[in-house]
Amino acid sequence: MSGTNYSEATDVGLLRDNNEDAIYSDAKLGLWVVADGMGGHAAGEVASEITVNVIRDSVRQGSSLSEAISNAHHAILDAARDGSGKYGMGSTVVALHSLGNRYQIGWVGDSRAYLWSDREKDGFSLQQITIDHSYVQMLFQSGIISADEMFVHPEKNVITQCLGSVELQELKVDVIEGHWHKCDWILLCSDGLSDTVTDQQICDILHAAQNTNEAVATLIQAALANGGKDNVSVIVVAAPAGNRLMERFKIMGRWSKPSN
């Protein structure tokens, strides 16, 4: 995975005095994580740091993405009990684990993953590929509110589960799998982006970006321009270079490696 192109950034925003988000990127491991901590100063940032560190260590040791996220949940609870963290702290998370031409995305809460595709046959598109664990998502799925109403709903920040929640009898980690295509990008973000920048704006920014660096910088700028009320974290990961090369030779009807 060392040939994977990606960019990352996190920003405290315009109204907060501390950043409770944490991000992690390791192309060699094929792992990218965005965690959005909760619980206030010296608590939310502890929870998000525990989240990324435990997921990293668990995946390195061979755990599945679902197991790694569950391990982070229990580690946050342990830290609150032993005093290294604070009672009531927690974190949402979205994580991408990529192996070859396949990937998994796991999440808890309302941190999101989007798939950006620019394919010759179908054109470009943006698809939210995670489903928020949130109150407004439940309202939408019940048909009570529309998709447009979700974006402006006064309780859109109310989540139904997070890592470290003492009220959960059992944590439900959602995981989806997919295949990389040559021009795919996967966007991971905290709700500091998705609560302030619409899907259409995100789509337009990714379509205009020349590379992942420009995409991440412009997305962060858009969140700040739209108020920057929360910490905002963004990771954009492009399809692995080897997969992009293989797709090119597949289209040309060739499967042999190019000569040096």
Domains and CATH numbers, the chain: 6-251 (3.60.40.10)
Give the residue carrying structure tokens 């920048």: 197
Nearest residue to 193 via CA among 259, 111, 101: 111
Count other Cβ atoms within 10 Å, centred on residue 211.
12
Alpha-carbon gap, residue 251 to 123, rounded angstroms:
16
Q: Let me know: does 32 contact 48? Beta carbons within 8 Å.
A: no
Alpha-carbon gap, residue 240 to 181, rounded angstroms:
9
Predicted confidence band at 146 (pLDDT cuts at 50, 70, 90)? confident
Give me the residues paired with residue 98 across strands: 103
Q: How far apart are the first and last CA of the chain?
A: 21
Query: Tokens for 154?
Result: 């006064």
Nearest residue to 50 via CA among 5, 81, 7: 81
Q: Let me know: does 23 contact 35? Beta carbons within 8 Å.
A: yes
Of residues 122 and 93, the one with the higher pLDDT is 93
SS3 45: helix
Distant-in-sequence, close-in-space partners of 148: CB < 8 Å, separation ≥ 6: none
Query: Tokens for 167?
Result: 């009220």
Alpha-carbon gap, residue 114 to 106, rounded angstroms:
12
Q: Would you state the pLDDT for residue 122?
A: 66
Statement: residue 53 has pLDDT above 70: yes
Model-level pTM? 0.88
pLDDT in tens, 214-225: 999 999 999 999
Q: Which of 22-26, 33-37, 208-212, 244-248 has the lowest mean pLDDT?
A: 244-248
- Please give the order of strands across the beta sheet that includes 102-108: 21-26, 31-38, 90-99, 102-108, 174-179
Query: Tokens for 91?
Result: 């974190």
Of residues 169 and 256, the one with the higher pLDDT is 169
Max CA-CA distance within the chain?
Answer: 61
Alpha-carbon gap, residue 217 to 221, rounded angstroms:
6
Q: Let me know: does 194 contact 39? Beta carbons within 8 Å.
A: no
Alpha-carbon gap, residue 172 to 81, rounded angstroms:
22
pLDDT in tens, 243-254: 544 344 333 333
